[in-house]
Amino acid sequence: MDQTNHGWSAEEAIRSIIIKDKGLQVASAQKIDYMLSLMKRRALSEMAAEIHDANRRKGFWDDRGRDTRSISEMLLLVVTEVAEAAEALRKDGAIDKIGAAGYIYWMTSGSEGDEMIAGGESISKSFFESEVKNTFEDEIADAIIRLLDLCGGLGIDISRHVELKLAYNAQRPHKHGKKF
């Protein structure tokens, strides 16, 4: 849960703004939930579009926006990333080994010209390459990036489909009626 310095979640802050704004009528809880849902959907859809645009610029898609690979090949590349995540976990066994102290080092280490921008922050590329690259988290990120790129390229509103699937799964029995 994202929290501000006030200890509010982002959702609580938005609800507070919507309810307290004198220029708006107090919205019903259902309308607020719907608005928050749309905001979350846009964020995931925007990420898919950004990833797809970046991959087009890197040459993974042709000028017409078509991938030079088949959909099957693209899905197998996702499977490859998941397999690499499993192998990274087998080798290292650590998840999120960076922690807060490492994150501060990550932001400040490295030489001039060794910086990348991630999430609006300047970070050290050399630290990423030595401490993050090929870790479990890095490979999971690769799998997600490949899936979002595929969705962006095929025009799939993945946020909508995730929301639909989550709503459907909420109605299913424990473990969806299966052993595991």
Domain limits of the chain?
10-97+135-177
At 79 the pLDDT is 96
Q: DSSP per residue over 101-123, as a string? A: HHHHHHHH-S-TT-EEEETTEEE
At 43 the pLDDT is 80
**What φ, ψ does residue 105 adopt, rounded to 5°?**
-60, -45
Token pair 């991959």 in the structure block, residue? 55
pLDDT in tens, 82-127: 999 999 988 876 666 655 445 544 455 555 666 776 666 667 788 7
Distance CA(137)–CA(122), nearest Å, equals: 20
Instruction: Decide if 159 contacts 44 (C-beta within 8 A).
Output: yes
Q: What is the pLDDT along the chain (180 residues), one digit of tens a residue?
A: 444 345 555 566 555 555 554 444 455 666 666 666 666 666 888 889 889 988 888 888 876 656 567 888 889 999 999 999 999 988 876 666 655 445 544 455 555 666 776 666 667 788 778 878 888 888 999 999 999 999 999 999 998 898 889 889 889 999 988 988
Contacts 24+ apart (CB under 8 A), 43-51: 43/159, 44/148, 44/158, 44/159, 44/162, 45/157, 45/158, 45/159, 47/148, 48/148, 48/149, 48/151, 48/152, 48/156, 48/158, 49/152, 51/145, 51/148, 51/149, 51/152
